[in-house]
Structure 1
Amino acid sequence: MKKIIRITTVPISLKILLKGQPKFMSSYYEVLGISSGGQELLDVSTDEGIRVLPVEMTRTISPLKDLKSLYILYRILKKEKPFIVHTHTPKAGIIGMLASKLVGVPNRLHTVAGLPLMEATGNKRRLLDFVEKMTYKCATKVYPNSNELYHFILKNNYAKSDKLKVLGNGSSNGINTSFFDPNVVSETDRQKLKSTLNISDEDFVYVFVGRLVGDKGINELVKAFTQISEKNVKLLLVGPLESDLDKLETQVLKTIESNDKIISTGYQKDVRTYLSISDALVFPSYREGFPNVVLQAGAMGLPSIVTNINGCNEIIVKDINGTIISVKNMQMLYDAMMKFYLDKNYFLKLKSNARQMITSRYEQNVIWNAILSEYKNFEKNV
């Protein structure tokens, strides 16, 4: 059985963003997962039934640590002799593709799921541009997980079109619409959570799921929400604070703590019940690849307010299953939130389309089989 190595910078990407995919692929190949160490990497081994190896990688620019990671990964690849190395996330991409190139791995694949460099400027942007080009140069195939990313890569001359391919309608992993289904959450569980969070049946609940950082638009979201004077509205923030990388504004942090209409739950392993007690997803991110949370919310029957960025503007079709606003535009965000709340006919129309728009385009098995087909094609070319 041929060997495939999947590499991410941190294990949460293997555990959550690619959930189920390694197990599916292990029916056809020997699959080895590599990421930074810790309990989550061990969880991947248990959940997916694959072998894993730790290679510490940082998410920040750290030349000495990166060289050490490169050396360790080079030695692993030399020993394992994989048929395919498939990387995800920027740091794993450059280290994984460079090590694979040095070893001579025949099929070096990199999935692009969002580019942090989009928000960078000056010397940092130039450095990240160089790293991105180097990653794609070392890869034999690059998979942007949205059409917008595909065109961004071409526009910035990171790679030629013959090296790029978008699989299906986009997404790195698709979505299991049997798992993310509003019918799987019982009314008892919904009412129990609402009671715990002090949410009434009369409340209109906006929900955000993800890291609570500036790049996700949390500063604008909190400011826009505080302008809503209606009584029966709540904002549910489901996700961890990451103050080390992209800290929120001080006043915004104070507002989250003090405003009794804003409920911050921290990280939640299973977000389905939280989505099931919400009315609409608000996702004002500055940049994305192909955001899973917008797929998840839609599959749970929620219309979405998203920014006009990669992925979001492909999952959401304006005035069909949600609406699209400009990035960093607090006024547009406020207006969209108010329209959802005040215009019931408009809101119910979007809600009625939400789940079908996901199930018809992004079912998980379609994406998995598209990736498997790519792998099989490489076997034919041997």
Structure 2
Amino acid sequence: MSNTAWSILNYRRGLLEALARAGARVTIVAPRDAAFAPLTAMGCTCVDLALASQGTRPVEDLRTLASLFRIYRRTRPDVVFHYTIKPNIYGTLAAALARVPSVAVTTGLGYVFLHASRAARIAQGLYRLAFRFPREVWFLNPDDRDAFLSRDLLVHPGRARLLRGEGVDLARFAVRPHAPDGRFRFLLIGRLLWDKGVGEFVDAARQLKARFPEACWQLLGPVGVANPSAISRAEVDAWCAEGLIDYLGEADDVRPHIAAADCIVLPSYREGVPRTLLEAAAMGRIAIATRVPGCVEVVEDGVNGILCEARSAQRLAEAMQRVLCLPAQQRKTMEDAARRKAEREFDEQVVIGAYQRTLDQVSGKTIFLSGKQP
């Protein structure tokens, strides 16, 4: 269960394919979106669930809890995996009420841990309640795990597991040559949120554009999403009109855009382990990221990319200038290091092996997914 079916398809495709090959029956619970069709074609059963993706609306959230309880009672799954905040909270509680084993996967702490708001305090209290019940709680980086432990949000600390990212399909995200047109493209991929550092990205472009006319700055991802930190389409249109950025819209397949880019940029305030950086590394692209939890798991400063201070357009612009001025051989060395790091540390098959271990232990059934043991 997740807040979007799209994320299940795009972030866990390899896992779903391994489960299908092993003969497992997989049910996807999420709000209906365009991913329902390909998920169904893969053999999954998709269940549409109304889910308010932001805010705390007690009546709506109780309806979600009741709906999930009924779904879990009806399907009687061997185990449920929950992803993102509301599924982790209300899905975990529903699974406990239905007496179904569950695993909570914290894909990132996001708004709840970045802002000291009433909603954030409520969400942390709900985490503390819900996380009494999962058989395991997975974290993608040690900083997120330590944040939960330091706030006493895990009643059973021994159930915490460190996954170190959700992996990347190294064959699907293979190295591709650069575009031969002589342009240098900085690309930011993700939901267009202020918390992702989109504002700093645009301000850095404003500082550098006149000095580096061969460079361009691109944004790829949904705009105006349901998130308190969302950027509006009008703001994006204004940046485009000013000539600062090119907005590429949304894409189901990001590989052509990464292949066309020279440097992937993620100036985020906090991450789990960002998928966009994993995919960029696998495709042999330099990355610029902020020195924050999640990003530092993937980018090694001066080795396969550059780290800079978060919330600073000036520092981001300096990092971009460093990349623009790199000698060709040094850039190639860093690109090769990015691919090697992806192969060494973020192979999707290791993640599939972690799922296999947990499925065997929690369900009491043996299922062979052909993954590497973590």
3-state SS, counterpart of residue 138 of structure 1: coil
Task: Answer whether contact 1:302 1:354 (CA < 8 A) is retained.
Answer: yes
Q: How does 1:286-325 map to 2 (within 5 A)?
A: 286-325=269-308
Gaps of 5+ in 2: 367-374
Question: In structure 2, what residue type is equivalent to 1:128?
Answer: A
**Cα RMSD over matched residues?**
2.2
Match 2:355 to one of 371, 375, 378: 371
Contact 1:340 1:346 in 2 (8 A): no
1:163 is aligned to 2:159: yes
Work out which of the residue numbers 175, 178, 182 in structure 2 matches 1:182.
Answer: 175
Structure 1 residue identity aligned to 2:86: K
Select which of 125, 134, 150 maps to 2:145: 150
Contact in 2 for aligned 1:56/1:69 (Cα 8 Å):
yes
Partner of 1:196: none
Structure 2 Cα separation of the partners of residues 242 and 138 of structure 1 = 34
Shift in Å, 1:110:
0.5
Q: Which residue of 2 aligns with 1:327?
A: 310
Candidates 162, 182, 194, aligned match of 1:214 = 194
Instruction: Say if 2:229 is the partner of 1:266.
Output: no
Amino acid across the alignment from 1:177? L
Q: Which residue of 1 aligns with 2:344?
A: 360
Give the match for residue 205 of structure 1. Answer: 185
CA shift digits 1:43-93 (9 cap, x unpaired): 3222x3111211211111222111111111111211222221111111111
- Distance (Å, rounded) in 1 between the aligned partners of 2:297 and 2:317: 22
Range with greater deviation from structure 2 (235-244 or 310-319): 235-244
Q: Residue type of the partner of 1:359?
A: E
Aligned pairs, how many?
358
Q: CA contact under 8 A between 2:14 and 2:169: conserved in structure 1?
A: no
Aligned to 2:105: 111
Q: How has the CA–CA distance of structure 1 residues 254 and 56 changed in structure 2, closer, same or farther, with 3 Å as cutoff?
A: closer
Find the counterpart in structure 2 of residue 240 from structure 1: 222
Structure 1 residues 161, 339: CA separation in 2 closer, same or farther (over 3 Å shift)? same
Q: Letter of the 2:62 partner, please give it.
A: L
Question: For 2:48 and 2:232, how far apart are their aligned partners in 1?
Answer: 35
- TM-score (structure 1 length as normaliser): 0.88
Structure 1 residues 18-37: aligned runs within 5 Å? 18-26=12-20, 27-37=22-32
Q: Distance in 2 between matches of 1:255 and 1:203?
A: 23
TM-score, reference length from structure 2? 0.89
- The worse-fitting range, judged by mean Cα deviation, of 313-322 and 348-357 is 348-357
C-alpha distance in structure 1 between counterparts of 2:234 and 2:307, whole Å: 27
Q: Distance in 1 between matches of 2:224 and 2:77?
A: 35
Change (3 A) 1:205 1:119: same
Letter in 1 for 2:224: E
Aligned in 2, Cα 1:339/1:255: closer, same or farther, shift over 3 Å? farther
Gaps of 5+ in 1: 1-6, 192-200
- Provide the secondary structure at the position in 1 that maps to 2:80: strand
Q: Tell whether the 8 Å contact from 2:92 to 2:102 is kept in structure 1 after alignment.
A: yes
Q: Partners of 1:241 and 1:205 in 2: how far apart?
A: 20
**Any idea what SS the aligned residue of 1:13 has?**
helix
Q: Which amino acid aligns with 1:57?
A: L
Q: Which amino acid aligns with 1:234?
A: C
1:13 to partner: Cα distance: 1.7
Residues 269 and 254 of structure 1: CA distance in aligned 2, closer, same or farther (over 3 Å) = closer
Give, in angstroms, the shift of residue 30 of structure 1.
Answer: 2.1
Candidates 45, 49, 55, aligned match of 1:51: 45
Counting helix residues as a fraction of each chain, which structure ranks higher? 1
Identical counterparts, % of pairs: 22
Paired AA for residue 115 in structure 2: A
Name the CA shift for 1:244/1:372 in 2 (closer, same or farther; >3 Å): closer
> Contact 2:190 / 2:221 at 8 angstroms: preserved in 1?
yes
Q: 1:280 aligns with which of 258, 263, 275?
A: 263
